[in-house]
Structure formats: C-alpha cells, structure tokens
Structure 1
Amino acid sequence: MTEQRFREFKMPDVGEGLTEAEILKWYVKPGDTVTDGQVVCEVETAKAAVELPIPYDGVVHELRFPEGTTVDVGQVIISVDVAPGSGPVEAAAAPAPAPAAEPASEAAEPEGRQPVLVGYGVAQSSTKRRARKGAEVPVQEPAPAGTYYASPAAAIQGELNGHAPVAAPAAPVAPAGGARPLAKPPVRKLAKDLGVDLATVTPSGPDGIITREDVHAAVAAVSAPVAAPAPVSRETTPVAQAPVQATPVAGARETRIPVKGVRKATAAAMVGSAFTAPHVTEFVTVDVTRTMKLVEDLKSDKDMQGLRVNPLLLIAKALLVAIKRNPDVNASWDDAAQEIVLKHYVNLGIAAATPRGLIVPNIKDAHDKTLPQLAASLGELVSTAREGKTTPAAMQGGTVTITNVGVFGVDTGTPILNPGESAILAVGAIKPTPWVHKGKVKPRQVMTLALSFDHRLVDGELGSKVLADVAAILEQPKRLITWA
C-alpha cells in the first residue's frame, strides 16, 4: 500500500484571502464512491456559502472534521482512496473532532497518537480537542466508526452540549439511485438548524426537490415547535427571505446564537465602517407617481417581456444617471496612500437579507447596461441570493450600494456605508400621501430617500447634488432620457 493510493483534499480559499470556513453539511460518508467534480460538502465562509467538489475518483476513506467545525484554509478535510481495489485498508473513521489548539508537526505527534498512514490521520485515542472559540470543551473519547455528531443548532437549543457524539438514528431510506437528497442551499441550512436529516424528508417540489415547507412538515411530524419565517412578497424587495433563527427551548429564558460566517463578517465590517468613515446622511421626500406609472407601462413593453420590472429597477437607473452627472461621488478612500481613488466604472451593490445574514452582491459595470440588461442583472442577482448561491466574487469590488428598507414598510433610515464605498442610498416605502400637485392637494405616491456618504471625499454640496438628481429623475422619469 503506497501513499499514492490516497489523496487528501484540503480546505480551499474560496474567496480572496479568506483564512477559514465552517463545514455546514457533508454530502458523503466513509465508504461512499465519489467521482471527479462531485459536490461532497457545503461550507460557509465570511462571505457566502459554497459547495465544494472533489477533484478525484475513488472511495471516501475519511472525513477529518464533523459538521459545524470551523477549519483553517489549507487543512485536509477529506481523504479519498483512489485505488479501492488494491487491497484492504483500515476502517474509515467517522468525522473526527477539531485538532488540538497547539499545532503538531508530523515529526512530533502528541503522546498516545500513533500514525495510521503517513499523512493520513492517526489512531483513535483520548486527547484534548480544540475548543470552539471562547468555549471550554471537555476531553472526550473519539466516536467509533458509524457514530453521528450533533449539529451546532441542537447544542444551541440545549438538546446537547458541545460536539459529543450521539447514537446514530435509524438509517433512512436512501433516495432513488443512491443520490443525495435534492435541496437548495438555504433549505439545507434550514434543515441543519432544525436538526432535520434531509434523507428522511419527503420532497414535494418539482423533480423531487425538497422545499422549506417539506422541512417544516418533517419537524411538525415529530411535534417539534417551529415557527416558519413569514414570506415577504412586495415588488420592491431585493430578496424576500428573513434570517432563520434558532428555535427557542420551552421554558428557557435565553437563547444564544453563535456569531460566525456571514453575520460575523458583516458585524465587523459595519463597526469598522461606522468608526472609520465619517458618515453624513441627507434625506429627501419625493412624488414618484409618474415613476410608478412608468413601471406599469414597462411591464407590458415587448422589450421587457420576461424581465422583472419594479420601482427598484428605475431607482437603480436613476442613481446610475446621477453618478454619471456627478462622477466624483463614485470613489474610495485609500488611507495608506492618503489618496482619493475615483472609479470610472460603477459596480452597483444591492443589499440583500438572506437566511445567513446581510450580503451585498453587486452588478458589475452597471453603468454600461441598458434598462433591459439592468433588469436582467437585477433578476439574476435576486434569484441567486434567494437560492443561497451568491459567490464571494459577486460581493467584491462594489462602488455604490442601494438598500431597500421600504419592503419592510419603513419610511427611511441612516444606512452605514459598505466598506470601501463612498455612498449608499436607502429606499423607503412608497405610500399614497396627500401632496400638493399643480396647486391642489391630491393623493400621490410618495417615498423618502436617504443618502449616506463618506464626508472625507464627498462634501455636502456633492452629496446633495447626487440625492437631488435621483429625486428629480424619479419625479420626472423622462429625465432618464434627457439627462442620460
């Protein structure tokens, strides 16, 4: 038996410069046959959830970490026997707990740990495991092969303590053909949070896809109280999903939710932005009745057929025109060089609320797009975010952002800048309001816009001009033609 028989797959850097990722879900187990390009697990970084394909053909030999473990980039997460017919090997172990806090070299294994194969794990023995950030984890005997591990959500709910192994449940009936259950990433995350094995869920979606409703039905079948997030379906919403929260335990006075992944990165970015860039926010209330009429007209236009047409589309176009008229607002601050960097392109960010937290994917080179092209890009951005498939690359390089708080019925707000950007436009709810129109008080469709900007590079005059231009276009949308 040679080392070449086994291949190790390491945690890749799925973003730019990311240092760690959490294993959300394993789609394979030791003994499963895998093929080159097959997705074997889903991981969550500080920017997005990503499915990882294996680059080998063979049989899974070992899963190095259980679900819920945060793993450094470059650490081996799975090994594959690429020559399974070459002879017997030692039984593959169930997912092993995280390694000890102090890194150990191959030449100096901790006492009591004997190598099984060079570079492919060690014999099971009692040893101290690395604590999840800020938590004390007692010394535990590793689980025997075939043992299942509890999910972090279960620990949060008080059902278990830490990542101790628990007895394996009765084996569910495998899906037809031995394939893993079909479900989109947000549904997999929901199932993980609620402790539901997707293999036990009866799918109701097209082509055997498991839906959120199927997961909730599976929980209800075992009398577990679960409150499904209320769907939001207003036209101006960029993403109509509320974050999934941990299910409270009956009688508990507190519920603790770990801050990690996207939420942790968002929190750090917002604190850094708020206390680095001096924010200024200006407001304007505008009659958008004509814009709303134009939205209805565009829905029946043959050039817009099949595209998502809503007020957000025209607001985005209005902001792009305002930036073209006031290009200095599209910039960033280089603190190291003490320079203002003017951008000659607009990567338009759209803040989106997803089950994993707030993300801001952006439309690359939005300034060059026609209205139909912009509508197509917005539609793709929304659908990708809803499915939980937004890539780290889609969230990098933004220059200006729109955040739509109006979908929640909110009139306005004071948004915090996305790090590295100079401005963010908050879009409020559109409501029928008494308004003076042509000398008479009439009911009109009115909304409030709020523009926050970095006062180091955008002064009051420039910020006011940009906001006034957006408002003027939405009041008289024909300016989309005359000003463009």
Structure 2
Amino acid sequence: MREFRLPDLGEGLTESEIVQWHVAEGDTVELNQIIADVETAKAVVELPSPYAGVVVRLHEAAGTVVDVGAPIVSFDVEAGPDLPTAPSAPDQAVSEEEAARDEPAPAKREPNLVGYGAAVEKGGRPQRRSRGLSAAGTPQPAAAALPAASPAAAAPSVAAGTAQHRERPRSTPPVRKLARDLGIPLDSLTGTGPGALITRADVLAALAGAPSSVAPTVVQDRPEALPSPTPPTQPGARETRTPIRGVRKHTAAAMVASAFTAPHATEFLTIDVTPTMELLAELKASRAFEGTRITPLTVVAKAVCIAIARNPSLNSSWDEPAQEIVQYADVNLGIAAATPRGLLVPNIKAAQALTLKGLAQALGSLTETARAGRTAPADLAGGTVSITNIGVFGIDAGTPILNPGEAAILAMGAVRSMPWEYRGEIALRSVMTLSLSFDHRLVDGEQGSRFLADVGTILRNPAMVLTMV
C-alpha cells in the first residue's frame, strides 16, 4: 500500500481544493496518469499519479479544501501493472537548510511532485529534535491543535515559550519573507495553519489589525486590536455566504499586501485615439493579419513595451531585504483577465521581443487559457508590469492597484466617440483615458509622466513610433 499526500505545487501554499477526480476507487492507473484537477490560489492544475497500481481509497471528495501534506489517495502498488514508481522530487517549498533548522526529517516520505511543504503528523505539532524537553528534562507530548482565535488556547503556548528558550515560529520561507517585508515579527503571531503553522493570511491579518492571529503583545508600537463586533443580523435575514478561498483569497491577500507596502501614485491622460482605430481597421483588412484578432489592447501592449525601453524604471521591483532596486531586461507583460474563478494576471514573457502580430496571438492564447481555467502557475509568476482593460466594461478611468512586486500598472478606458478639438475645430473623435498607477519608491513623478506621455503619443499618432525606436 502506498499513500499519496497532497504536494505543495511549487507555490509555497498551505492548502488546495480538489476540483475533480478523474479516477474512482478500484481503478487501475499508470505512472503519471492524471488522477485529479486541483485548484490552488492561482490556477487549476492537473495532478499526475506518482504510482502505477490500483486506487484503493480516495480520502477526500471533490470540492474539499485539503491541507498540503494530507493524504488524498491510497494505492495498491503490487496489484497494478509492473511499472516503476516516480522518483521523489526535491522539496522546492522549503530549502534543505530551512528544513534542517525548523523540522526533523520524516522517517519516510512518499514520492511527490515538488514537495510536501510543511507536513503535520497526526496528533498535533511535530516535536523538535533538541527542543522537545520540559524543564524537568522529560519529553513533552505533542500539543493538541486548538482554535487560534481562542485566548485560552494561545495562553499555554505563550507560557511554555517563556519557561525556557523560545522556539522559532513555524512558517514557510515565502511567509517569513512577507513578514520581514511588512515589518511584522513572527513571534508575535499565533499560526492558524496545520500544527500552528503561521500562514500568509496570519501575516496579512496582523498588518490589517485583525485580532484573530495576533498574540497578546504590541506589534510595531501598536496595541493589540480589540475584536470587531459581530454585525447584527435580523432573524430570517436573506443572505448568501461564500467561503473565502482559491483565487479570491489569493487576490485579497495580494491586494492588501500591495496597498500597504507600495506607495501608490496615479496619473491620468485623455487622448484622441482616432488614428489608432483607423490603423486597426486597416490591419484587420490586411492579409498579413488574416485570422489574427487584433484589438486596441494589442496596440496598447506594444506601446507599453516601447515606452518602457525609454523609461526603464517602470520595469523594476523593490527588494526590501536586500535594500536594492531590481531592474529587469525583459518586459513580462501581465494582462488582467476576469475569469469565472476571479481575477488572474497571467503574463507574456519577454513581450518586448514580439511583433505586433506576435503580441496579438499571445494575447489571444493567454485570454483563452485564463477563461478556461487552465493557466499554468508559471504563467502567473514573474510579471514585471501589467495592463488592465477596464474599457471592456464601459469604464473610462480608475486607480488600479499594483500587482505585488511590480512597479506600474496601466488601465485603459473605454473608447468613446465624443466632440474633440481637431485642427482648430470641433469634430467627433474616438477618445480614450489612460490611468497609470506606479510605486513611488521606484518611479518618480517625472518618470511616470514621461512613460504615460510616450504611450499616449503612440496611440495619438502611431507613426511617431519611428522617432522612438
């Protein structure tokens, strides 16, 4: 018998939802056969089988949110075809050095995809190698998991930590980095994850002043926040409650982190894009673009790539731990996509190297994949600057929030026919408003303004590209 535990799919997450099983109990499966679709906080990914054998038991039903490291399926390997099992892949969620400091190596680990993350043994929090002794020198039993919101549950752990040297709080490297970036000490938090693991949500809750995950102490010279009162509900009130998880949970955490770490500044520019609309009409009738869907977004994407070459500070990020500004050579252009699962921002790698037709094809493929819910995690990572097309909803302008880690995001509004000054007279023209939000730590007002003006110049007169490249 072999037990397959839910792996961390390379994103440093603590849980995933089983969307759909592709096998049933009693089915014979082959090595690397797709057995389930699993939804992380970013995308739906296919889960291959690490064994060849017979499915004995499915531990969780479809629609269930499962902690990383929890068993999801058991196999009878001997009953299956005579095929080798998959080799164990290295744990990418926690490095060997981090794991050696934080957790003892498990006696036996099953083959997995990219790592189990923070696996939790049954019965509570795993014991430390050299720290699991009481003051009398006797082994301590594993502490039972208690709700983090209960003050009575948090008190014993605090007292135990002061009885002798304090244990290092349990969390994953991405969460520790987030806490460092936000200036929140991990030892001030009570983890709500498996085995008291401190999660990203715990860190962001502490930043927002939420009392559920903050231990009784002072964080950043701020007294502990009092619990917010429960909103009154009338008997028989009509309401619908939806669990916060998946893409919505990830988006909320990312927006909170971005809003409270990057000082946003937003500028607006309204321009006459009639020449761009005329150019699009010509390209659609051209044989060179036959079968290619080309839209105003395509031209804006190309204009952004050209403008970034002239204003490279908008293609950078702020590395707080290293106290460095990282400037990127490639423009990994993120495109905000509204999908049935929520907002996703997949990006086109090295977009500056693509022609206008190549960008149009990449945008079409990116959008189609995102709406089908099949965007790969790699396509959602590594973005350097983003575009959001709010014009498709009939909106003229807004103040978009930066995608975390990026220096700028451009919102393009609706193209409207309206009276406009043209060659000294009033004429009916196609007009669009651009909204640029940028991280004021990385981008000064002059740099942001020059970038926005360059994009506007290209859209106002596409022939001006000849003077920019």
Q: Normalising TM by the smaller chain, what interval?
A: 0.5 to 0.7
2:278 corresponds in structure 1 to 293
Q: Quick check: 1:46 aligned with 2:51?
A: no
- After the TM superposition, which residues 327-406 of structure 1 pair with which residues of structure 2 at under 5 Å, given as runs? 327-406=312-391
Q: Which amino acid aligns with 2:464?
A: R
1:466 corresponds in structure 2 to 451
2:400 corresponds in structure 1 to 415
- How far did residue 284 of structure 1 move? 0.5
CA distance in 1, matches of 2:30, 2:291: 37
1:80 corresponds in structure 2 to 75
CA distance in 1, matches of 2:287, 2:46: 38
Over 3 Å counting, the alpha-carbon distance change for 1:131 and 1:302 in structure 2 is farther
- After the TM superposition, which residues 29-68 of structure 1 pair with which residues of structure 2 at under 5 Å, given as runs? 29-68=24-63
CA contact (8 A) 1:330 1:422 kept: yes
Q: Quick check: 1:447 aligned with 2:394?
A: no
Over 3 Å counting, the alpha-carbon distance change for 1:411 and 1:437 in structure 2 is same
- Secondary structure of 1:478's partner? helix
- How far did residue 296 of structure 1 move? 1.2
Structure 2 residue corresponding to 1:102, chosen from 114, 117, 124: 124
Q: Which amino acid aligns with 2:438?
A: F
CA distance in 1, matches of 2:420, 2:71: 64
TM-score by length of 2: 0.66
Over 3 Å counting, the alpha-carbon distance change for 1:439 and 1:131 in structure 2 is farther
**Residues 260-304 of structure 1, C-alpha deviations (whole Å, 9 max, x = no match):** 111111101101101110000000000001101111111122222
- How far did residue 103 of structure 1 move? 5.6
CA contact (8 A) 2:53 2:80 kept: no
CA contact (8 A) 1:99 1:130 kept: no
- How far did residue 37 of structure 1 move? 3.0
CA distance in 1, matches of 2:31, 2:360: 36
CA distance in 2, matches of 1:480, 1:266: 36
Q: Which amino acid aligns with 1:76?
A: P
Q: Quick check: 1:9 aligned with 2:31?
A: no
CA contact (8 A) 2:271 2:456 kept: yes
Q: Which amino acid aligns with 2:403?
A: N
CA distance in 2, matches of 1:367, 1:275: 30
- How far did residue 61 of structure 1 move? 0.3
- Secondary structure of 2:7's partner? coil
CA contact (8 A) 1:101 1:131 kept: no
- Secondary structure of 1:24's partner? strand
2:306 corresponds in structure 1 to 321
2:22 corresponds in structure 1 to 27
CA distance in 2, matches of 1:372, 1:473: 17
CA distance in 1, matches of 2:39, 2:375: 11
CA distance in 2, matches of 1:104, 1:472: 61
- How far did residue 20 of structure 1 move? 2.1
- How far did residue 256 of structure 1 move? 0.5
1:438 corresponds in structure 2 to 423
Over 3 Å counting, the alpha-carbon distance change for 1:134 and 1:356 in structure 2 is farther
- Secondary structure of 1:403's partner? strand
Q: Which amino acid aligns with 2:411?
A: A
Structure 2 residue corresponding to 1:277, chosen from 229, 240, 262: 262
CA contact (8 A) 1:15 1:393 kept: no
Over 3 Å counting, the alpha-carbon distance change for 1:442 and 1:364 in structure 2 is same
**What runs of 5+ residues in structure 1 fail to find an aligned partner?**
1-5, 87-97, 106-128, 136-250
CA distance in 2, matches of 1:26, 1:354: 22
Q: Aligned residue pairs: how many?
A: 330
**Residues 189-237 of structure 1, C-alpha deviations (whole Å, 9 max, x = no match):** xxxxxxxxxxxxxxxxxxxxxxxxxxxxxxxxxxxxxxxxxxxxxxxxx
CA distance in 2, matches of 1:131, 1:310: 54
CA distance in 2, matches of 1:355, 1:303: 33
- Secondary structure of 1:275's partner? helix
CA contact (8 A) 1:23 1:70 kept: yes
- How far did residue 72 of structure 1 move? 2.7
- Secondary structure of 2:419's partner? strand
Q: Which amino acid aligns with 2:380?
A: M
Structure 1 residue corresponding to 2:247, chosen from 238, 246, 262: 262
CA distance in 2, matches of 1:104, 1:467: 54
**Residues 35-67 of structure 1, C-alpha deviations (whole Å, 9 max, x = no match):** 333322111111111121213332210112223
Q: Quick check: 1:482 aligned with 2:445?
A: no
- Secondary structure of 1:324's partner? helix
CA distance in 2, matches of 1:133, 1:374: 48
Q: Which amino acid aligns with 1:370?
A: T
1:121 corresponds in structure 2 to none
Q: Which amino acid aligns with 1:43?
A: V
2:410 corresponds in structure 1 to 425
- Secondary structure of 2:322's partner? coil
2:182 corresponds in structure 1 to none
1:170 corresponds in structure 2 to none
CA contact (8 A) 2:28 2:80 kept: no
Over 3 Å counting, the alpha-carbon distance change for 1:481 and 1:55 in structure 2 is farther
- Secondary structure of 2:51's partner? coil
CA contact (8 A) 2:303 2:458 kept: yes
1:309 corresponds in structure 2 to 294
- After the TM superposition, which residues 163-178 of structure 1 pair with which residues of structure 2 at under 5 Å, given as runs? none
- How far did residue 483 of structure 1 move? 1.6
- How far did residue 422 of structure 1 move? 0.3
Q: Which amino acid aligns with 1:60?
A: V
- How far did residue 10 of structure 1 move? 2.3
Q: Which amino acid aligns with 1:363?
A: I
- How far did residue 252 of structure 1 move? 5.8
CA distance in 2, matches of 1:134, 1:255: 24
**Residues 122-148 of structure 1, C-alpha deviations (whole Å, 9 max, x = no match):** xxxxxxx9999989xxxxxxxxxxxxx
Q: Which amino acid aligns with 1:298?
A: L
CA distance in 2, matches of 1:358, 1:302: 35
- Secondary structure of 2:261's partner? coil
- How far did residue 400 of structure 1 move? 0.3
Of 32-41 and 431-440, deviating more is: 32-41
> How much is the aligned-residue C-alpha RMSD, in angstroms?
2.5
